[in-house]
């Protein structure tokens, strides 16, 4: 089994495979090893899809973090279970495909508010990579919307609002909230089955598809993916020079060492800091990159705000057509809201909804089903609340390893009184939307933060005193160790991070190509 490579990439999600694709675009025979701790779960399997449609059985659910594997120890419960897929292709197997850019002020959070962190570069610097990322992920969006500066339109037209969106659109406009269309990553033709968490035709971008295509290309003789292979330690030649990675084969229990000129950690905001912390050569006694105790610090997440309303009847027989929202707004995602917490607003992707198939399975008659569909009707407006990185909020190691051989962890996340007050204030804004629609509020909550969008645990900074990684996502103090992950983000913004991660992966690919004198990546899409 081969043990020497040009590049070793830890993690097979969108970040890792984007870097691999670029390196192979530059040199088809480049030797690249990708290590994935989880198993391979087949995509576009009709049997799996029917299990999901009928029984809500997700074929990758067994890879989720399970209760008891990790611990939340702060004053605010941190939701870990069910938030990420530990498998080939990573969490793009279950993501909703929402693709939103961060805004210019998100790159200047500390300068503007005195809290959180600044990025080592501006929005304008990353903007061309956003354009490439939107092409790469095949994003559908409305180019006429002016939420932020952009040099190119979206590559695909937007999904238009549904009939069930209209009453919330009317409430938005009455309250001075600008309605917008949700940008969605659509890899191929979407048939709107409403089952995006397991698409039967591969219409939503999934890193698996890129992995499969790269593996199937006979020109890529040096490209290899090893699943069920949990990285257990980063190997060093010296303090500055990384030599490779040690990993454990989950099927045999055997340890292996692989060596490379460049190592890229692309395994997410949990696994990257854990791997750095467990790697304690003599030169790095507290973990690689952790001389100043910053690895695992500044955990940032999104908390969900929800206000649900109920009306007496659903005479129009409305139900949500897709498994993603089409209506959103960034009217409260502004510099003026940044100090106390910006929010990104969207309509609940699942409401209004009646489980007609479930009613049929229960044996209800047509008239009984008609009555159920006719009312009452639920609508819900939701938002992500921007939270700022705080030194005290951190990830640390816990004793033992999980089913995949990965270290267990503790998340110490503490919400401040000011943070709770900001959340309540934003809830009041959302409540006005539901009331303007003429609905009775039946649920209102600032929910616990979750691990879906965790960022910050190895954040970028212009110096080692500020961050674990530099502006190129290279670990300070090393020559060839990179973090291509949400972990490197100094801020979490109010919107989903995947598009920004794809843009950063494209940027890193350009950087690595320039280091080796190769051509840079200029074309997006799977057929490049």
Average model confidence (pLDDT) for the chain? Answer: 92
The answer to whether 158 touches 140, Cβ cutoff 8 Å, is yes
**pLDDT on residue 528:** 29
Q: Is 96 helix (H, G, I), strand (E, B) or coil?
A: coil
Residue by residue, DSSP assigns 107-144 as: GBHHHHHSSS-B-SS-HHHHHHHHHHHHHHHTEE--TT
**pLDDT on residue 216:** 94
Confidence band for 495, pLDDT divided at 50, 70 and 90:
very high
Higher pLDDT, 524 or 290: 290
CA dihedral 229, 36, 521, 100 (to 10 degrees): -160
The answer to whether 198 touches 58, Cβ cutoff 8 Å, is yes
Q: Is the pLDDT reported for residue 519 higher than 70?
A: no
Total domain count for the chain? 1
Single out the residue of 6, 433, 519, 521 nearest to residue 258, CA to CA: 6
**Is residue 520 domain-resident?**
no
DSSP code of residue 465? T
Q: How much is the pTM?
A: 0.94
For residue 308, which phi and psi values (nearest 5 degrees)? -110, 140
The DSSP H or E segment spanning 429 is: helix 417-436
pLDDT digits (tens, 9 = 90+) for 322-357: 888 999 999 999 999 999 999 999 999 889 888 787
Question: What's the 3-state SS for 361-415?
Answer: HCCCCHHHHHHHHCCCEEEEEEEEECCCCCCCCEEEEEEEECCCCCEEEEEECCC
Could you list the residue range(s) of the whole structural domain that residue 110 is in?
A: 4-515
- Count the residues in the chain: 528
**pLDDT on residue 188:** 67
d(C-alpha 371, C-alpha 350), whole Å = 20
The DSSP H or E segment spanning 53 is: helix 46-55
**Is residue 526 domain-resident?**
no
The answer to whether 462 touches 477, Cβ cutoff 8 Å, is no
d(C-alpha 459, C-alpha 294), whole Å = 9
pLDDT digits (tens, 9 = 90+) for 64-112: 999 989 999 999 999 999 899 999 999 998 998 999 999 999 999 999 9
Q: Is 280 helix (H, G, I), strand (E, B) or coil?
A: coil
**Is residue 377 domain-resident?**
yes
**pLDDT on residue 518:** 47
**Is residue 525 domain-resident?**
no
The answer to whether 178 touches 185, Cβ cutoff 8 Å, is no
d(C-alpha 490, C-alpha 389), whole Å = 7
* 368 strand-pairing partners: none
Q: Is the pLDDT reported for residue 488 higher than 60?
A: yes
Residue by residue, DSSP assigns 472-517 as: TSBBTT-SSEEE-SGGG-S---SS-SHHHHHHHHHHHHHHHHHHTT
Q: Is the pLDDT reported for residue 261 higher than 80?
A: yes
Q: Is the pLDDT reported for residue 510 higher than 80?
A: yes
**pLDDT on residue 190:** 75
**Is residue 524 domain-resident?**
no
The answer to whether 482 touches 505, Cβ cutoff 8 Å, is no
The answer to whether 116 touches 490, Cβ cutoff 8 Å, is yes
Instruction: Establish whether the linkage from the previous residue to 378 is cis, with ω within 30° of 0.
Output: no
The DSSP H or E segment spanning 306 is: strand 300-311
**pLDDT on residue 373:** 86
DSSP code of residue 284? -
**pLDDT on residue 195:** 82
Strand 4-10 and strand 407-412: the pairing is unpaired
Single out the residue of 437, 425, 432 nearest to residue 385, CA to CA: 425
CA dihedral 395, 401, 403, 406 (to 10 degrees): 60
* Mean pLDDT, residues 444-457 taken together: 92
**Is residue 321 domain-resident?**
yes
pLDDT digits (tens, 9 = 90+) for 262-284: 999 999 999 999 999 999 999 99
Q: Is the pLDDT reported for residue 523 higher than 60?
A: no
Residue carrying the six token digits 């900074």: 461
**pLDDT on residue 396:** 97
pLDDT digits (tens, 9 = 90+) for 32-74: 999 999 999 998 898 998 898 888 899 999 999 999 899 999 9
The CATH number assigned to the domain holding 284 equals 3.50.50.60
The answer to whether 249 touches 228, Cβ cutoff 8 Å, is yes
Percent of the chain beyond pLDDT 70? 97
Distances (CA, A) of 193 to 201, 202, 462: 10, 11, 46
Alpha helices in 260-329 (DSSP H): 268-278
Confidence band for 522, pLDDT divided at 50, 70 and 90:
very low
**Is residue 521 domain-resident?**
no
d(C-alpha 443, C-alpha 293), whole Å = 41
**Is residue 193 domain-resident?**
yes
Q: Is the pLDDT reported for residue 521 higher than 50?
A: no
pLDDT digits (tens, 9 = 90+) for 291-324: 999 999 999 998 999 999 999 998 888 888 788 8
Task: Give the list of residues 6+ apart from residue 390 with CB closer than 8 angstroms, or none.
Answer: 115, 298, 414, 416
Single out the residue of 451, 512, 521 nearest to residue 487, CA to CA: 451
Strand 32-35 and strand 223-226: the pairing is parallel
Return the exposure string of 378-417: e unless at least 16 CB atoms fall within 10 Å of the residue's CB, then b.
bbbbbbbbbbbbbeebbbbebeeebebbbbbbbbbbebee
The CA R_g of the chain, rounded to the nearest whole Å, is 23
Distances (CA, A) of 71 to 132, 181, 223, 408: 38, 37, 37, 8
Q: Is the pLDDT reported for residue 520 higher than 60?
A: no
**pLDDT on residue 332:** 96
**pLDDT on residue 318:** 87
pLDDT digits (tens, 9 = 90+) for 394-450: 999 999 999 999 999 999 999 999 889 999 999 999 999 999 999 999 999 999 998
**pLDDT on residue 517:** 54
The answer to whether 502 touches 18, Cβ cutoff 8 Å, is yes
């Amino acid at each position: 089994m081969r043990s020497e490579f040009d590049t070793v990439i830890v993690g097979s999600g969108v970040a890792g495979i984007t870097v691999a694709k670029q390196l192979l675009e530059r040199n088809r025979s480049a030797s690249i090893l990708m290590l994935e701790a989880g198993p391979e779960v087949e995509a576009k399997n009709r049997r799996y899809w029917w299990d999901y449609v009928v029984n809500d059985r997700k074929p990758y659910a067994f890879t989720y973090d399970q209760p008891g594997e990790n611990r939340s120890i702060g004053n605010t419960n941190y939701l870990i279970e069910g938030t990420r897929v530990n498998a080939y292709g990573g969490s793009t197997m279950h993501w909703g495909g929402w693709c939103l850019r961060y805004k210019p002020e998100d790159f200047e959070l500390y300068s503007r508010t005195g809290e959180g962190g600044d990025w080592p570069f501006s929005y304008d610097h990353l903007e061309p990579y956003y354009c490439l990322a939107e092409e790469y992920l095949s994003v559908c969006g409305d180019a006429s919307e002016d939420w932020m500066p952009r040099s190119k339109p979206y590559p695909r037209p937007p999904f238009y609002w549904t009939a069930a969106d209209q009453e919330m659109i009317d409430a938005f406009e009455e309250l001075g909230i600008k309605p917008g269309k949700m940008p969605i990553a659509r890899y191929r033709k979407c048939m709107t089955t409403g089952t995006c968490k397991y698409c039967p035709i591969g219409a939503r971008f999934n890193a698996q598809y890129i992995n499969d295509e790269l593996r199937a290309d006979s020109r890529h003789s040096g490209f290899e993916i090893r699943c069920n292979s949990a990285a257990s330690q980063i190997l060093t030649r010296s303090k500055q020079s990384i030599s490779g990675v040690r990993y454990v084969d989950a099927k045999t229990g055997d340890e292996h060492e692989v060596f490379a000129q460049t190592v890229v950690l692309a395994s997410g905001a949990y696994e990257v800091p854990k791997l750095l912390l467990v790697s304690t050569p003599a030169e790095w006694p507290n973990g690689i990159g952790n001389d100043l105790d910053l690895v695992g610090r500044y955990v940032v997440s999104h908390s969900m705000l929800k206000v649900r309303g109920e009306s007496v009847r659903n005479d129009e027989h409305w139900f949500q057509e897709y498994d993603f929202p089409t209506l959103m707004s960034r009217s409260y995602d502004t510099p003026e809201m940044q100090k106390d917490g910006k929010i990104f607003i969207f309509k609940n992707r699942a409401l209004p909804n009646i489980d007609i198939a479930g009613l049929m399975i229960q044996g209800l008659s047509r008239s009984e089903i008609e009555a159920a569909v006719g009312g009452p009707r639920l609508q819900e407006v939701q938002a992500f609340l921007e939270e700022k990185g705080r030194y005290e909020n951190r990830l640390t190691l816990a004793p033992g390893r999980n089913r995949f051989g990965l270290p267990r962890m503790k998340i110490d996340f503490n919400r401040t009184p000011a943070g709770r007050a900001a959340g309540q204030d934003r809830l009041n804004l959302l409540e006005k939307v539901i009331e303007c629609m003429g609905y009775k509020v039946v649920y209102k909550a600032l929910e616990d933060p979750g691990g879906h969008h965790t960022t910050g645990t190895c954040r970028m900074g212009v110096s080692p005193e500020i961050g674990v990684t530099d502006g190129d996502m290279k670990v300070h103090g090393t020559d060839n160790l990179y973090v291509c992950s949400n972990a490197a983000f100094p801020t979490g913004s109010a919107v989903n991070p995947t598009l920004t991660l794809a843009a950063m992966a494209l940027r890193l690919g350009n950087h690595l190509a320039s280091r080796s004198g190769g051509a840079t990546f200029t074309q997006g899409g799977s057929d490049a």
